[in-house]
A and B are shown apart, each in its own frame.
Chain A
Amino acid sequence: MRRHTRGIALITTLLLLTIMTMMLSSSIIRTFGESILGRGNSSMTSAQYAAESGLSLAMSRLAVNHAFASNITGTMSNGATYLVDFGPGASVNNLGADTAQSGPRGPGTVAARSAYLVVYGRHGERVRRIEAVVKEGLPRLPLRSAILASGNITLVGDVQIGGVTSLEDATPVSADLVSNSASNQAGQIQWIASGGSANIDGSIRTVSTSGSSIQATGANVSQGLKPGSNSQEMPHPDILGRISSHSSATALVTTPGLTVVSSGDHYHSGNLNYNGDLELDQSNLYVNGSVNVTGSIKGTGSLFVAGNTTLHGDAAMQAAAGQQVSLLSHGSVSLQGYDGSEYMASLDPAATTVLQTSLSLLQTGLASGDPSPYFNNGIYDTVPADIRASVTSLRSALAAEPASPRKDFLNKRLDLLSNSSNSGMFDWPLGGDSGPGVKPQDAVLDAFLADGKSHGGLFDAFNDRLCQRPASEKVAIMNRMNQMLGGLNYKSPGSAVFVGQVYTNGFVYAENDMNILGSLQAMDDSSQLPSMPDGTTTVRPGELYLKKRTSVTFVQSQSEAVGSTVGTMALKMIIQE
C-alpha cells in the first residue's frame, strides 16, 4: 500500500495547482474582459458626442448659409472625430426647395424646406452614425436701435428712451430712434411736448435728408438729431406663413382668470379675446386672428398674431431660447397701460411721493455698486418699511374706489411690493438672520438668481444675506435687483410693463404709463390699414406713436446675436443607430 501512495502529495498538489491556475486565468480573463467592455462603452459614448458635435456644427453653418452642403470634419479633445457626410447617398440639403427630394431613406424622404443630415462619430474602433432632420427656426431681428420704423415716429408728452446691456446688467447703452423713411416730410420724427419732457439716451435718425424731418425742440437727445442717416436693416418674417404652418399644433384652451400655455406650440383659430392673465411656459402661441388681452402676459415664449394685437396692463414676456422675438403681429400693436401713477397720486399724494422717493433711493444705492454703506440701519433697512407703509396707505385709499380694471391692476402692482399675506418683495417674513451657515433667505436669493423674478421676502433676503455671497453673485444680485426696480419705474410706480421685442407689419401705439423693456419695430408691408387707436389720432402702418408717459428701455441682449444673418436652425428629428 505504501508503495502505491508514494508521490501522492506531489500529484495532489499539481492537481490543485492546475485548478488554481485555471481559477487565476479565469479571473484575469474576466478582469481583462471587463476592462475592454468598459473602454468600449466609453469609446461609444465619446463617438456619440462626437457625432452630435458634428450635427451642431452643421446646424450652425446651415443657419448662416442655407445653401451649405459640404463635408465637415473635426476632432474632439479626446481624439474622437466627426464627419458630416454630404457625399452620395448621405446628407441632403433641401432647405431652399418647395418639393421633397430623395435622401438616404429613399425617394421623396427629404421634406421641402428641410435638410437631412448624416453624421458619423468615431472613437477608436467605435463608430456612431446619426441621422437628423433640421428645418429653419425662428427669424432673428437684426436690431440695433430701441425703435425702428419704416414710417413716422411720434412721441407725445413725457417720454423716456434709454438702453441697458441686458436685464441682468444695467450698464447703459445707446438707444436710438430710427426711421427708414426717405419721404423728407416735415416732422417725420417729432416730439410734441404737451407739457412733458423727453429724454433720449441716444440719437434720432432718419433716412430723410431734410433738416425739418426731425422736430424735437426741447427734447434732451444725448447723441443728437441725424437726418440723412443710412437705413437700418429691417427683417421680413413671414408671420402669416408661420401661423399657417402651425395650424395643426395643440389647440389653445383658456381658463377664466389665468391660462398657462404649456411648453411647445399652440394654435388658436379666430380672434382671441381674453380677460385674465396669460402665462407662456416656454411656449409659442400662434393666433390666426386678433388678440385682445385684458390682464398680463408673462412667462417665456413668443406670440404670433395674424391680426391686430391689443394688450392692456403688464406684459412680461421674454423670448424663449433661440428666439429673439416676443411678439410678432401682422396687424398693428397697441400697448395700453392704466395711467396708474396719475390715478394713484390723486388718491394719496403723500404715500405716492414716499413710494417714489423710496424706490428712487434704493435704485441709487444699488447702482452705486457698493452695498456696504447702505446696510446696518442704512436705506436697505429703513426704506422697505417706508414702502410697506405707503403701500398700506395707498391700498386703503384704493379700497374706497369703484371697481375697475385700473383698480385691479394697481392692487396687483401694490401686492407685488407688499401684501396682507406678507409675501411681497418688500415684506419681511424671514426675520433677521445674518449669521454664517445656510439660511432660508439663501433659498430666496438662489431662486432670484435663477429666474430674476420677484419672490416673497426678496429684499429681506437681500438685506440679510448679500454680504455672505461671493463677489460675482453680489454684483449679479444687485444688477438684477436694480433692473427689477427699474421695471417698476419709481417715477411712475403705477405704470404697466412690457418686457420683450415687438415686430409688426402695422403700427405700434403705446400710451398711459407704458414702460417697455425691449424694442419696437414697425414695418409697413402694404397689408394693413391706418387706424385711430385712441379714437382721434390716425396712425398709419409702419409708424410708431408713443404718448402719455411711455418709456422704452432698449435691452441690447435681446437683439441679434453676432453671426447669423439668415435665422436659426431647429432640430426636428434625430435617428440614432
Chain B
Amino acid sequence: MKQRGLTLLEVLISLGLVAIALIAIVTVFLTGLRSTRVKEQTAVATDLCRQVLERSKGLGGLPTSTMIFDGSVPTAAVGGFPPGPYPGTQVDGQQYVLRVDVKPKAGEPDVYIVHVSARWSVHRVDAESLMYAI
C-alpha cells in the first residue's frame, strides 16, 4: 500500500512537471514561429525599400522639391519617381505599402534625402540614403 501511494504521488508530480514543461515549450515554439514570420517579413520589407533606393539611382533625376509619395493613397509617381515596387506589392500573401519622402538636403547642392518606409500589418521598416542627383 505504502509503495502504491508513493507511485501515485510520483505520477502526479511527473504529470505536473511534464505539463508545465509542455506549456513552456509550446509557448516558446509559437513565439519563435511568430518571430520567424515577422523576421521573414522584415527581410522582405527591407528588400523592397532597397529596391526603391537602388532603382532611384538609375533614374534620370529626382524631384527637386520636397515631396511625399504615400503608397496608401497612392500618390502618383512623377517622372518615374518613385520607381517600383512603389506604391506597394504583395509577397507570400502579405501586402506591403511603401512611402517615399524626398527632400533637398539644405546647403548641399544636388543632394537629396530619400527616405523609404515599408509598412505591413502593424510593422514598419525604414531605409534612408543621401543621393547626388543632377
**Which residues on A are within 8 Å of B, measured CB to CB?**
2, 6-7, 9-10, 12-13, 16-17, 20-21, 23-24, 27-28, 30-31, 34-35, 38, 41-42, 45-46, 49, 52-57, 59-61, 63-64, 76-78, 137, 282, 300, 320-322, 449-450, 470, 472-473, 476, 561-564, 568-569
Q: Known interface pairs A30-B32, A56-B111. Does A45 touch B130 (Cβ–Cβ under 8 Å)?
A: no
Interchain CB contact under 8 A, B130 and A53: yes
Partner of B109, one of A10, A35, A60, A476: A60
28 A-B contact pairs sorted by A residue (CB < 8 Å): A7-B6, A12-B14, A16-B21, A17-B21, A21-B21, A27-B25, A27-B32, A31-B35, A31-B36, A45-B50, A49-B53, A52-B129, A53-B128, A54-B130, A56-B111, A56-B132, A57-B108, A60-B132, A63-B110, A77-B115, A282-B60, A322-B61, A322-B134, A470-B76, A476-B78, A562-B109, A564-B110, A569-B132
Q: Within the complex, what minimum Cβ distance (angstroms) separates B7 from chain A?
A: 7
**In the complex, chain A residues whose CB is within 8 Å of the CB of B42:** 38, 42
Q: Known interface pairs A27-B25, A60-B108, A450-B79. Does A13 touch B18 (Cβ–Cβ under 8 Å)?
A: yes
**In the complex, chain A residues whose CB is within 8 Å of the CB of B7:** 6, 9
User: Residue of A at shortest CB range from B126?
Assistant: A78
For chain B, residues 56 to 99, give those with C-beta under 8 angstroms from any C-beta of chain A. Answer: 59-61, 64, 76-80
Partner of B76, one of A77, A78, A472: A472
**In the complex, chain A residues whose CB is within 8 Å of the CB of B61:** 321-322
Partner of A60, one of B18, B79, B110: B110
**In the complex, chain A residues whose CB is within 8 Å of the CB of B14:** 9-10, 12-13
Partner of A57, one of B3, B10, B111: B111
| Most central of B43, B80, B128, B132 by chain A CB within 10 Å | B132
Interchain CB contact under 8 A, B76 and A321: no
User: Residue of A at shortest CB range from B12?
Assistant: A9
**In the complex, chain A residues whose CB is within 8 Å of the CB of B31:** 31
Partner of B11, one of A9, A23, A562: A9
Interchain CB contact under 8 A, A63 and B109: yes
Interchain CB contact under 8 A, B111 and A60: yes
Q: Within the complex, what minimum Cβ distance (angstroms) separates B14 from chain A?
A: 4
Partner of B25, one of A20, A30, A42, A561: A20
**In the complex, chain A residues whose CB is within 8 Å of the CB of B36:** 31, 34
Interchain CB contact under 8 A, A321 and B18: no
| Most central of A7, A24, A54, A320 by chain B CB within 10 Å | A24
Interface size class of B (residues with CB under 8 A): 35 or more
Interchain CB contact under 8 A, A7 and B10: yes
Q: Known interface pairs A20-B22, A561-B64. Does A38 touch B76 (Cβ–Cβ under 8 Å)?
A: no
- B51 contacts the other chain (Cβ, under 8 Å)? no
**In the complex, chain B residues whose CB is within 8 Å of the CB of A16:** 18, 21
Interchain CB contact under 8 A, B17 and A17: yes
Q: A52-B130, A63-B109, A78-B126 known; 12 other A-B pairs, CB under 8 Å?
A: A6-B3, A13-B14, A16-B18, A17-B21, A31-B31, A46-B127, A52-B129, A56-B129, A59-B132, A320-B60, A322-B61, A472-B76
A45–B131 Cα distance when bound, in Å, is: 16
User: Residue of A at shortest CB range from B80?
Assistant: A450
A419–B65 Cα distance when bound, in Å, is: 40
Q: Within the complex, what minimum Cβ distance (angstroms) separates B104 from chain A?
A: 10
Interchain CB contact under 8 A, B21 and A20: yes
Interchain CB contact under 8 A, A23 and B128: no
Identify the 4 closest CB pairs spanning chains A and B, nearest first.
A563-B109, A322-B134, A13-B14, A53-B130
Partner of B28, one of A28, A46, A49: A28
| Most central of B14, B43, B80 by chain A CB within 10 Å | B14
**In the complex, chain A residues whose CB is within 8 Å of the CB of B132:** 55-57, 59-60, 569
A61–B18 Cα distance when bound, in Å, is: 67
Partner of B131, one of A10, A46, A56: A56
Q: Within the complex, what minimum Cβ distance (angstroms) separates B5 from chain A?
A: 12
Q: Known interface pairs A6-B3, A473-B76. Does A24 touch B25 (Cβ–Cβ under 8 Å)?
A: yes
A466–B110 Cα distance when bound, in Å, is: 34
**In the complex, chain B residues whose CB is within 8 Å of the CB of A2:** 3
User: Residue of B at shortest CB range from A472?
Assistant: B76
User: Residue of B at shortest CB range from A562?
Assistant: B109
Interchain CB contact under 8 A, B128 and A321: no
Q: Within the complex, what minimum Cβ distance (angstroms) separates B87 from chain A?
A: 13
Q: Within the complex, what minimum Cβ distance (angstroms) separates B49 from chain A?
A: 9
**In the complex, chain B residues whose CB is within 8 Å of the CB of A34:** 35-36, 39
User: Residue of B at shortest CB range from A59?
Assistant: B132
A45–B77 Cα distance when bound, in Å, is: 25
Interchain CB contact under 8 A, A9 and B10: yes
Interchain CB contact under 8 A, B21 and A49: no
A56–B10 Cα distance when bound, in Å, is: 71
Interchain CB contact under 8 A, A64 and B109: yes
For chain B, residues 1 to 35, give those with C-beta under 8 angstroms from any C-beta of chain A. Answer: 3, 6-7, 10-11, 13-14, 17-18, 21-22, 24-25, 28-29, 31-32, 35
| Most central of B21, B50, B64 by chain A CB within 10 Å | B21
Q: Known interface pairs A24-B24, A321-B133, A450-B79. Does A10 touch B13 (Cβ–Cβ under 8 Å)?
A: yes
